[in-house]
Structure 1
Amino acid sequence: MKFLKSFVISVMFLSLVASCNVNSHVMFKTSDAEVITDNIPIAPDDAYRLAPDDKISFSLYVEDGKKVIDMSAGIGANAGSQQLNSVALQYLVRQDGTVEIPMLGLVQVGGMSIIEVQEKLKKLYSANYIDPFIQVQVINRRVIVFPGTGGDAKVISIVNDNTTLMEALALAGGITERGKANVVKVMRQTTAGRKIYQIDLSTLEGLKYADMIVQSNDYIYVEPTKQLSREFLKEVTPIVSLISSALLVFSVFTTVK
């Protein structure tokens, strides 16, 4: 009887300790006051602004891009066989927001939109070229998607400017079996800090937010379903087995004496 009492007390104590680890993998826990559930913007409130570690590429043409139009229209010698090729060089935005550009040196671009960077480079290159036409692209834009199970998280490259939330989830393989479609959080960096938009995709009413345009560096987190009983048993079973084995050995030695 004494051994049984000790066994029960030990199991209860260790079960209490193990319960602290149940669902410890759940991330980004929020309160109702911290999330935005109404009037979620379908299109971004502001254009994407360059940040450190972004990689950009740009093309420069003179005379406001006249050569581009001529080649597209087949004008000029051997135009039928000509192709517009540009060297795909990458330029890294440094931690101080500058990027080293040919002929210009270090140019401050951090916090600027693509349009603003194009206009700035156009103005700077005007000193050496006639009516420069500039096109700038961010080539390493991506979003991080947690579809409901930690092991299935993916980094998704944004190829199209109008990539939607539904497309990003589809590229990540969709919401997993443990994912809660009614708790999809889009965490977006803004000038005021990260805003957290919580979207319910479990009903047709939430379909209007499925077309939400994602931005580079968005975190898309599908909250996993809490499996209390399964995870509790997973944590407690090895402990109970170890205690029962130890008590069995102890009782055997006590009986022998």
Structure 2
Amino acid sequence: MFRGEGSINLDKLKQSLANVERNYIIQPNDYLDVRVYTNKGERIFDPNGELPFGAPGGGVGGVNRSTGVGQRGGNRNTGGQNNQYGNTQFLVQYDGQVKLPMVDYVKVTGLTLLQADSLLQTLYATYYVDPFVTTQVVNNRVFVLGSPGGQVIQMTNDNMNLLEVIALAGGVGGGSGQTQYGRANKIKIIRDYMDHDPIVQVVDLTTIEGLKQASLHIEPNDVIYIEPNQRLFFEVFRDIAPIVSTILGTTSAIITTVLLINNLK
């Protein structure tokens, strides 16, 4: 997969790195985890569970992270045994707006998370005293292909790097359960792959010099391809092992039958 020699579109890569160093900009189809507090950070107490951001019984409003991203559109309900958590995650629509309780539609695309916090604090000041708002994007992820197998790694923060993602995927070889071994000197970071002119960076982790020269910054939706180490002899042997076993078994049965016939004469 993804065959090619060396890195591609280095100029676009430099521009992309400049964007990575900035704070994350909210985009359409992001899921925002929005938390609203009152009195500059106090939890909203809602014993009846009627307020959109209230925590029933004074508990901490939140969402069970193990359920992953829910159905598209509107806010996300965790349901089941986790229904004690509030519905605090909302989809940013294609037009850049997100529909939030009480303040209705708010345009958030093009804003950093800190700017979104400030905007929402102003809007919720109509309903709460000294509101404190935090927003976080919860559906950013990267894709790891190749020797570790296909994996989707959720980005827990905006500063994740290549080494952290590879570690979460189980290492270059994908851990002890994998039969393939990866080539640490040919790790490809593929960015803007939906574009007709994608960015490809080849990273060599076998030497300190290669580590110094590479950019390890990861963006949401990046594809990390770890090229498998082709062990031709072992792969061919693994493929033909069942055939060889069948032939040896058949030959052994024939020889045994011939010896028995000779002994009976």
TM-score by length of 2: 0.58
CA distance in 1, matches of 2:187, 2:42: 47
Match status 1:217 vs 2:217: no
Q: Pick 1 or 2: higher relative contact order, CA cutoff 8 A, min separation 6.
A: 1
SS at match of 1:155: strand
Contact map agreement 1:147 1:175 (CA 8 A) in 2: no
Amino acid in the other structure paired with 1:140: N
Question: 1:203 maps to what in 2?
Answer: 207
CA distance in 1, matches of 2:99, 2:200: 34
Q: Indicate the structure with greater helix content.
A: 1
Q: 1:203 to 1:127 in 2, by over 3 A?
A: same
Deviation of 1:156 (Å):
0.7
Matches within 5 A, 1:188-199: 188=191, 195-199=199-203
Kindly name which structure, 1 or 2, has the bigger radius of gyration based on alpha carbons.
Answer: 1
Question: 2:136 maps to what in 1?
Answer: 137
Contact map agreement 2:24 2:158 (CA 8 A) in 1: no
Contact map agreement 1:181 1:200 (CA 8 A) in 2: yes
Of 218-227 and 87-96, the range deviating more from structure 2: 218-227
Deviation of 1:122 (Å):
1.4
Amino acid in the other structure paired with 2:151: K
CA distance in 1, matches of 2:88, 2:18: 33
Deviation of 1:144 (Å):
0.6
CA deviations on 1:195-216 (whole Å, 9 max, x unpaired) are 4433211212234478934332
Question: 1:163 maps to what in 2?
Answer: 160
Contact map agreement 1:59 1:135 (CA 8 A) in 2: yes
Q: 1:197 to 1:32 in 2, by over 3 A?
A: closer
Q: 1:188 to 1:115 in 2, by over 3 A?
A: farther
Amino acid in the other structure paired with 1:187: I
Matches within 5 A, 1:215-254: 215-224=219-228
CA deviations on 1:8-27 (whole Å, 9 max, x unpaired) are xxxxxxxxxxxxxxxxxx22
Question: 2:106 maps to what in 1?
Answer: 107
RMSD: 3.9
Deviation of 1:88 (Å):
4.2
Question: Structure 1, unaligned stretches of length 5 or more?
Answer: 1-25, 69-81, 232-257
Contact map agreement 2:8 2:201 (CA 8 A) in 1: no
SS at match of 1:127: coil
Deviation of 1:46 (Å):
1.9
SS at match of 2:114: helix
CA deviations on 1:71-116 (whole Å, 9 max, x unpaired) are xxxxxxxxxxx75445242201112221111111111112322112
Q: 1:51 to 1:194 in 2, by over 3 A?
A: farther
CA deviations on 1:38-91 (whole Å, 9 max, x unpaired) are 9995993222222222211111122322569xxxxxxxxxxxxx7544524220
SS at match of 1:91: strand
CA distance in 1, matches of 2:43, 2:19: 34
TM-score by length of 1: 0.59
Question: Structure 2, unaligned stretches of length 5 or more?
Answer: 45-57, 63-85, 174-179, 236-265
Contact map agreement 1:42 1:213 (CA 8 A) in 2: no
Aligned length in residues: 192
Match status 1:187 vs 2:211: no
CA distance in 2, matches of 1:144, 1:218: 6
